[in-house]
Structure 1
Amino acid sequence: MRLRARRPLPPAPPAPGDVLAETRGLHVRLGTREALKGVDLTVRAGEVLALVGPNGAGKSTLLSALAADVPATEGVVRVHGRPAADWPAPDLALRRAVLPQSAALSFPFTVEEVVRMGRAPHAASPATTPADDDRAVAEAMAATEVTGFATRPFSALSGGERARVVLARALAQHAPLLLLDEPTAALDLRHQELVLRLCRSRAHASDAVVVVVHDPGLAAAYAHRVALLCAGRVAAVGRPTEVFSERLLSEVYGQPVEVLPHPRTGALLVHPLREP
């Protein structure tokens, strides 16, 4: 008798405050280097959690561990209450979407075809119709402002345009846990703001967004919480006003930093102190 493959079901929509991912005592070794050292972190539905810190602090490694793309050397990573490594790949893909630092495609896919790849995890789900796929793709392309070049080859786009297309692919996946590695790195000022507003919008809809951001000022403006990493450890975690002190940032970055409230909005402005 031929067995029919199990069809994965998408998770129930999370409620604000639900724990969608967590690490406990997480160590990750990459070759001979210990990239993460005893990291404890909790990610809850309804929040944007920014990972900030200097180059080599472990931000991207932590994001990859949450995505179950990098195995833990010690400790545990849980996604939706279950060890990340225990999830079958089709089920995990319905629970978390990942935007890597860079995305290379070898074939001449159009922009719309790349975004539609985000719907692949739903292909075997009995809860999804072709109309659902079309709607998700159209909404993701509109949100990232790439609809206007839907038929252009992905390879013909600028770096910033490609970054927005790959973000649209992750958004179209409709996973409640969104893991974004430097989504603003190649973007101009307006599109940086657009992407981070999208993060806030997803959190408002009770999803959880973990985003690696190099600019502490952007993290302060848009994240509900920040985790400041240094040398593979979490130096501090909490609201931006709790974490972003001049003393701590200056120590972690090895650069004198000034932190001031915006005169109109009150949001924190973080910038390096420069020699006169």
Structure 2
Amino acid sequence: MHRLTLTPRRRQDLTRLRPAAGEPVAEACGVAVRLGGRRVLDGIDLPLAAGEVLALVGPNGAGKSTLLAALAGDLPPEAGTVRLCGRPVGDWTPRELAVRRAVLPQAATLAFPFTVAEVVHMGRTPWADTPREDEDDAAVAEAMADAEITAFADRPFSALSGGERARVALARVLAQRTPLLLLDEPTAALDLRHQELVLALCRARAAAGDAVAVVLHDLNLAAAYADRVALLDAGQLTALGPPAHVLTADALTTVYRHPVEVHPHPATGAPLVLPARRPNAG
């Protein structure tokens, strides 16, 4: 396989990618996206800073995954601009994007019988022929330990359960060691323990200076772990701010078209979101 040889100056540039805490890493400015003739995002303004976890929440079809894809540079907007590390995302080459942001899609599929360890190693591909190639083994080992998949490193990816595959896919993203993580429903296939594990890893990456945007359907995970929550509905950003300011009963009842109750968590005080239900008849 041909491997790109980088000039000494380029090699040096790739070692200095992490923005300072609070510095914008990604930003959507007036972003609109149309898919299949339908406006899926409409005038989204959304900054994402180093050192924060941003949860994207909202009902099905709200535009969460589309917004994540636009921030990643995988989906060009019809209008508006997406900036990554201060430059329009379209100005970066695919290789430059791959060392600045890592993307976890909703579903992970592979056509060949790779082992778990081989899949995680794929996350290190962008760093080939750079000084950070020396980190490959350590980055892979750390990511596998963090995702709790070391015990089945030699198993075929195709032989894993859905939840195990999801954790392997997450480990691949973690091993990439980029300053921006874009995670689309990383907890969807996971049990309670591993849902908490994934969000704790997001918090740890933010504490280390990375920016993390994560699409979540579990509003209580968003309330517990996010610094800010972006509430989307029908392609529009209806609220943005700390969980306690965004996850209110009125706002959620309106957006989800279902009555919602919000109470303070007895231990943390974070919003605890509950759907309103009638007592069982009889």
TM-score scaled to structure 2, two decimals?
A: 0.94
Q: In structure 1, list runs of 5 or more residues that go unmatched.
A: none
TM-superposed CA distance for 1:262, in Å, is 1.2
- Tell me the residue number matched to 2:54: 49
Q: 1:43-192 counterparts in 2 under 5 A?
A: 43-125=48-130, 127-130=131-134, 132-192=135-195
Q: 3-state DSSP class of the match of 2:258?
A: coil
Q: Return the match for 2:208 from 205, 208, 223.
A: 205
TM-superposed CA distance for 1:201, in Å, is 0.2
> Can you list the C-alpha shifts for 1:37-80, whole angstroms capped at 9, x where unaligned?
00000000000000000000000000000011111100000000
In structure 2, give the amino acid aligned to 1:251: T
- Structure 2 residue 244 is the aligned partner of structure 1 residue 252: no
Q: Which stretch shows the higher mean deviation, 261-270 or 93-102?
A: 261-270
- Tell me the residue number matched to 1:194: 197
TM-superposed CA distance for 1:10, in Å, is 3.9
In structure 2, give the amino acid aligned to 1:35: V
TM-score scaled to structure 1, two decimals?
A: 0.96
In structure 1, give the amino acid aligned to 2:222: A
TM-superposed CA distance for 1:15, in Å, is 1.4
CA contact (8 A) 2:17 2:100 kept: no
In structure 1, give the amino acid aligned to 2:233: C
TM-superposed CA distance for 1:215, in Å, is 1.0
TM-superposed CA distance for 1:14, in Å, is 1.9
CA contact (8 A) 2:140 2:175 kept: yes
Q: In structure 2, list runs of 5 or more residues that go unmatched.
A: none
> Can you list the C-alpha shifts for 1:157-183, whole angstroms capped at 9, x where unaligned?
000000000000000000000000000
Aligned length: 272
In structure 2, give the amino acid aligned to 1:116: H
CA contact (8 A) 1:11 1:94 kept: no
In 1: Cα distance, 2:47 partner to 2:90 partner? 17
- Tell me the residue number matched to 2:220: 217
Cα pair distance change 1:4/1:228, threshold 3 Å: closer
In 1: Cα distance, 2:66 partner to 2:268 partner? 33
CA contact (8 A) 1:53 1:214 kept: yes
In 1: Cα distance, 2:122 partner to 2:247 partner? 38
- Structure 2 residue 40 is the aligned partner of structure 1 residue 35: yes
State the identity %.
65
Runs of 4 or more above 3 Å deviation: 3-8
CA contact (8 A) 1:10 1:95 kept: no
In 1: Cα distance, 2:186 partner to 2:114 partner? 21
In 1: Cα distance, 2:22 partner to 2:266 partner? 32
> Can you list the C-alpha shifts for 1:90-115, whole angstroms capped at 9, x where unaligned?
11100000000001100000000000
Q: 3-state DSSP class of the match of 1:14?
A: coil
